[in-house]
Structure 1
Amino acid sequence: MAVGLTSTADTLVRMRLATLQHDLRDQNRVSWIASGAVVGLVLAGGTIWVSAGGDNDLLVVALAVWMLGWVVGPLFAGGGDETVKPEYFTMLPLPPRTLSAGLLSAALAGVAPAVSLVALLSLAVAGAKLSIGALLIAIPAILLQLLCFVLLSRLAVAVYGLLLQVRTGAILAALVNAFILAFTAQGWALIAAYITTDVQGAMASGARIAPSGWGLVAVESAGRGDWLHSLACLAGLVVLAGAMFTGWSALLVRRTTATRSGVRPRRLLTASSASGAAGAKEVRSWTRDLLYGHRAVFAIAYGLFFCMMPLAVGWNAMLPWAGAAAVIMGGSMFANLYGADGTAYWSTLMVPGSSLPDVRARQRAFLLVFGPPVALISVLLTWWSGTDTWPIVLTVVPALLGGAAGLIVLSSVYAAVPTTDAHKRSGNPLNAGENAGEATGLAYVMIVLIALTAAPALVVALFASWWGVPVGLASAVLAWWWGGKAAAERLDQRGPELVTLLRHGRTTGEQTGKSSWTAKLDQLPRAKRHLANFCLGFGAIPLFPQAIVPAVFKLTENPAKVWFLALYAPSVWQWPIIAGMAALGLGMYAYGGFIYYQASKLKARPDSTDRTSAQDPLQQAS
């Protein structure tokens, strides 16, 4: 048994390292991995700096944040790193515990665990400041804490996948995820409320009770000479790791052995026209596919949480924009409708003249799902806020709805991303396949594009008040009509190519355009590529939370300072700092865009092709 466990773990680790080596051949993936590693190491360095300062209350809260990152991070990154999937080993005679131990070993062989290990060295720094015994206790505490982080992440993904297989579970998971993602953007309001009520000590006490604080408590106890308490904390980490490992193993068994039976239709399609049949089919997709329902609830809940969190500091000016935020997020979530269909689109393509009815049906379904709740949210929260923003809200919301309805079908046709077919989904519904990063990038681009569709009507509403409402309605109808028409024409012309893409993915011989673009990027210096990706990925930090939000706070005379740099400076320097932060954010976006524009003007070298998919990475481990 021990030999089998060791050989299985060794094989899976080598498979994981082979896939990592394969990823490092793709310059775009290298850019994202390097950017994430740099940011992680900066945060890890900050954690060590906190421990060196001797503020253990702040350190234990920082460790709790690291644990939270391990829990929620995979939920927004395509289901976490599952290059080595459990389903690959279903037919092998491996005991569940052996397979789980091997997968855990593979999960530990990556960039994220290495960065977290650096952050956990803060325990050794804290122990060294206390005593030699505390430093010795810190060594097993670091290893056990890292093991618990990774196990907690794997267990969270497994539980989340289980919830997505039940309708109520999918809704609950959507609410939790929406709150967490909104907290990453608007959590400053809740933090400000906590700070003003003087509960820092309570937060530190709670963080020590959480598993993320047990390692630090063990180190502190050893520093005081309380060896029994110290060993009890370490034993608690061992028991917790064993319990999580057992639970994860059980869920893996269920994932790799559960059978999925067909569902008997509750009501047959009785439509008498092509438009009616397409509409009925699309409505059934939205009501029966749990991922569709999950994403819709997530988008609406995100809009509510995002705009209601500032109420914690008494700022209600964002309430009217909850509906608009829900539409923008919803459009980004459904920017790959045909990619989600997968090879099932073949049945639609084989019906002559089906493109336009199918596209219009998808647009109607989107408006039916998001239109009524967004309208209700916008009206109620605008009335609740008491602000005089009715002309702007009634202008922007219809414009966004129409713009999103037009753009989601356009992006689904022109920028379709191959994903796993619905009937081939693994036990982890979060996993979007090998193109998860591309799907995420498409969602980010759609957020910007959908917001821009309301810009003309917004400008009219700002300068001409109620005259913006008819302009918003006109732009909504135009975007809906033109977007659907262009998408249908594209399907009529390139429908078979789309089916081929969704069935076979982008192989080396089938993605000339992508290979050409990769070849152009390869001609730029590596430092420029990495810097451009960094600027595009993090330009929002100085622009929005350090420039726009503090500017709004100053204009509304809000006293909260939170983490806004400008508001801590003398009043004479506040506006210059805000202007500097805005210039920095816009400059980062401008630099990244300019570098990519330069790449687009280059000529691809004929001998520079994308060979990253020429060999199955899992075969490289043999």
Structure 2
Amino acid sequence: MAVELTMARMKLAILRHAFRGQRAQTAGTGAVLGVILAGGTLFLSGHPELLAAAYAVWMLGWTLGPVFMGGGDETIRPEYFALLGLDRRRLATGLLTAAFVGVAPLVSLVALAGLLVAGHPLVAVPAMLLQLAGFVLLSKVSVAVIGVALRSRLGAIGSGGLNGLILAALGQCWVFFALFGETGVPVAVWYLPSSWGLLAVRGSWWALGALAALDLVLLAAWAALLGKRATRVSGRGRRPMNAATPHTAVVAKELRTWSRDLVRNHQLAFSLAYGIGFAASPLLIGWDGMLPYAGLIFVVMSAAMAANLYATDGTALWLNLMTPGAGDVRGRQLAWLSVQAPIALVLTVGLTALTAGAPWPLVLALLAALLGGAAGLVPLLSVYAMIPGTDPHRRSGNPLRTSEDDGGLTGLAYLTLALVAATGVPAALTAIWSGWPGVPVGVLTGALCTWGFGALAERRLRSHGPELLEAMRTGRKPRPRRAAFLQLSDTRKAIAGWCFALGAIPLVPQGILAAVFVADGDLHHSWFLATYLPAGWRYPVAAVFVALGLAMYGTALWLIRPKATKKERVYSSAAC
């Protein structure tokens, strides 16, 4: 028991010293949201069916959340204890004890307190603990399984595709509700492990034993998987790269990375499966209106996955800084397009051809605009908003763990999704109103984004290269930028945070997608407001939502912009 308590104290000490500054604010925001969700779950305590469904959602979040958030909580890693000679089962028990120290387990325990109201309180206490242990172990086992799968290219592709399909299904859950005609909670929810604690407090005593047995099985499985975290490097197929110019050398290096890096294989398969799954899900209810947009969804998701492009090189960034004029940014843009554009083109053209009455001008205009916008924004965001990552050769046994700042990576991905989608607005509006003229507008805006954003990225790399390298070496963002943000008032921080977090809702679903559905004649569609309005109001309302989303992002950027110092203002006025 001493080992378990020691690991728990280690975890507590690390968290006490780590949650400071921006990381503390991110953790605090997550804790507030978690408490709100837990409070909503407790509100359902008087309705057993709804409470069972809520616990199923909590289990799903624990199982899939760490996979999508870069490997979950690894404050205490198994590699730290490799030289102590602990057997796997004792190591797994100690790590499990440490896993209960944190905000997420505490919030989940509050949500599980609904068992105290739903049934016998004496049974509810052990049921709560066993249910929480099951949630934590499911998250550990799911991450470990994905980590083992990522040791081979086939496993990386397979796990990425499966994760993409699962997330797409969650995003299109309304399709499954419509397909099965469920107006209430499905009966199958009661058979899930997330409901066993609820069954136990309601008189089914066997469920408590089943829950304990499940926890023991999961603990044994996790202990077995911990021994498979050794990194294996293959030397097969290493062929020299031949390049005539520095520019082509960058392209060749990036293409080889895209083909060999298992994390990038995983991300590419994830984006492809998500795009196809999200667009094809409505086929289950006989609607093919989203098929033409599979390639576009793939492009946007691929950009979000690659938004931290330069950080994936780790401290090897110094090679780029020591080779001025090598065309590194342009080479990476060309390599990214060489990988993503053919897939997006085949998806878009092939699935659009299968759709009756397909909006060809809109789809082609958006494809050109989004490809160009993504090719420009990926390197731009990766140098302006770099999240310090881990050198590839120093990554832990969990390949999904490419950075210690999970919140920063998630925020960067969401920001990329919104900005890439925004680059398609001019082409989309032109195609909706004028038809085929939208295609050259999409080509023009895409080319301008690729060239302009790429030029800004090159300039940033030249002017702030040492700071970016220092951030990669130390794992800390440049101090001036962080200090400037911390100097903002609490009101400005809150407004900027809410604008960044909610700006995508009016911009993409209620604005861009609603206009697309109106153009296709898909009225009274899901929760898109413009599809429910009279004919003369549909496009104006969608345009208002687009403007609102852009205004929210503009407001956030304006609030966090760095202010000139008094000395800089004096120099500026003197120069004028």
- The answer to whether the superposition gives a TM-score over 0.5 is yes
- What is the 5 A alignment of 1:91-490? 91-127=83-119, 134-194=120-180, 196=181, 198=182, 203-204=186-187, 206-220=188-202, 222=203, 230-255=204-229, 258=230, 260-351=232-323, 353-354=325-326, 356=327, 358-490=328-460
User: Secondary structure of 1:51's match?
Assistant: coil
- By how many angstroms is 1:95 displaced? 3.1
Contact persistence 1:192–1:560 (CA under 8 A): no
User: Which whole-Å deviations, capped at 9, do the CAs of 1:213-239 have from their partners, x for residues lacking one?
Assistant: 22122223x2xxxxxxx3322111111
Instruction: Provide the C-alpha distance between the structure 1 equivalents of 2:533 and 2:367, rounded to a whole number of angstroms.
Output: 38
User: Secondary structure of 1:433's match?
Assistant: coil
- What is the 5 A alignment of 1:590-605? 594=555, 597-598=558-559, 600=561
Residues 272, 105 of structure 1: CA spacing in aligned structure 2 closer, same or farther, 3 A cutoff? Answer: same
Contact persistence 2:164–2:274 (CA under 8 A): yes
2:524 counterpart of 1:524:
no
Residues 193, 57 of structure 1: CA spacing in aligned structure 2 closer, same or farther, 3 A cutoff? Answer: same
For residue 610 of structure 1, what is the aligned residue in structure 2?
none
For residue 533 of structure 1, what is the aligned residue in structure 2?
497
User: Secondary structure of 2:490's match?
Assistant: coil
User: Which whole-Å deviations, capped at 9, do the CAs of 1:383-436 have from their partners, x for residues lacking one?
Assistant: 222234111111110121122112222223333322111111111112133233
- What is the 5 A alignment of 1:21-32? 21-26=16-21, 28-32=22-26
Instruction: Provide the C-alpha distance between the structure 2 equivalents of 1:481 and 1:560, rounded to a whole number of angstroms.
Output: 37
Contact persistence 1:317–1:385 (CA under 8 A): yes
So what's the TM-score if we normalise by structure 2? 0.87
- By how many angstroms is 1:370 displaced? 1.1
User: Secondary structure of 1:426's match?
Assistant: coil
Residues 192, 47 of structure 1: CA spacing in aligned structure 2 closer, same or farther, 3 A cutoff? Answer: farther
Contact persistence 2:312–2:389 (CA under 8 A): yes
So what's the TM-score if we normalise by structure 1? 0.81
2:12 counterpart of 1:17:
yes
Residues 397, 39 of structure 1: CA spacing in aligned structure 2 closer, same or farther, 3 A cutoff? Answer: same
For 1:25, give the aligned amino acid. Answer: R
Residues 406, 10 of structure 1: CA spacing in aligned structure 2 closer, same or farther, 3 A cutoff? Answer: same
For 1:8, give the aligned amino acid. Answer: V
For residue 8 of structure 1, what is the aligned residue in structure 2?
3
Residues 396, 560 of structure 1: CA spacing in aligned structure 2 closer, same or farther, 3 A cutoff? Answer: closer
Instruction: Provide the C-alpha distance between the structure 1 equivalents of 2:384 and 2:390, rounded to a whole number of angstroms.
Output: 19
Instruction: Provide the C-alpha distance between the structure 1 equivalents of 2:544 and 2:41, rounded to a whole number of angstroms.
Output: 29
Instruction: Provide the C-alpha distance between the structure 1 equivalents of 2:533 and 2:257, rounded to a whole number of angstroms.
Output: 57
CA RMSD of aligned residues (A): 3.5
Residues 409, 426 of structure 1: CA spacing in aligned structure 2 closer, same or farther, 3 A cutoff? Answer: same
* Structure 2 gaps, min length 5: 567-576
Contact persistence 2:175–2:282 (CA under 8 A): yes
For 2:36, give the aligned amino acid. Answer: V
User: Which whole-Å deviations, capped at 9, do the CAs of 1:568-615 have from their partners, x for residues lacking one?
Assistant: xxx999x99x9999999987996786477445476899xxxxxxxxxx
Contact persistence 2:515–2:542 (CA under 8 A): no
User: Which whole-Å deviations, capped at 9, do the CAs of 1:514-540 have from their partners, x for residues lacking one?
Assistant: 22222x23x335xx6456534542465
- Residue 31 of structure 2: which of 16, 33, 37 is its match? 37
Structure number with greater CO (CA < 8 Å, separation at least 6) is 1
Instruction: Provide the C-alpha distance between the structure 2 equivalents of 1:248 and 1:99, rounded to a whole number of angstroms.
Output: 10
For 1:471, give the aligned amino acid. Answer: V
Contact persistence 1:141–1:218 (CA under 8 A): yes
Contact persistence 1:550–1:566 (CA under 8 A): yes
User: Secondary structure of 2:74's match?
Assistant: coil
- By how many angstroms is 1:551 displaced? 8.9
Question: Matched residue pairs, number?
Answer: 564
Instruction: Provide the C-alpha distance between the structure 1 equivalents of 2:338 and 2:106, rounded to a whole number of angstroms.
Output: 46
* Structure 1 gaps, min length 5: 128-133, 223-229, 606-622
Instruction: Provide the C-alpha distance between the structure 1 equivalents of 2:436 and 2:265, rounded to a whole number of angstroms.
Output: 35
User: Secondary structure of 2:401's match?
Assistant: coil
For 2:13, give the aligned amino acid. Answer: A
Residues 249, 579 of structure 1: CA spacing in aligned structure 2 closer, same or farther, 3 A cutoff? Answer: farther
Instruction: Provide the C-alpha distance between the structure 2 equivalents of 1:137 and 1:105, rounded to a whole number of angstroms.
Output: 22
Instruction: Provide the C-alpha distance between the structure 2 equivalents of 1:172 and 1:275, rounded to a whole number of angstroms.
Output: 33
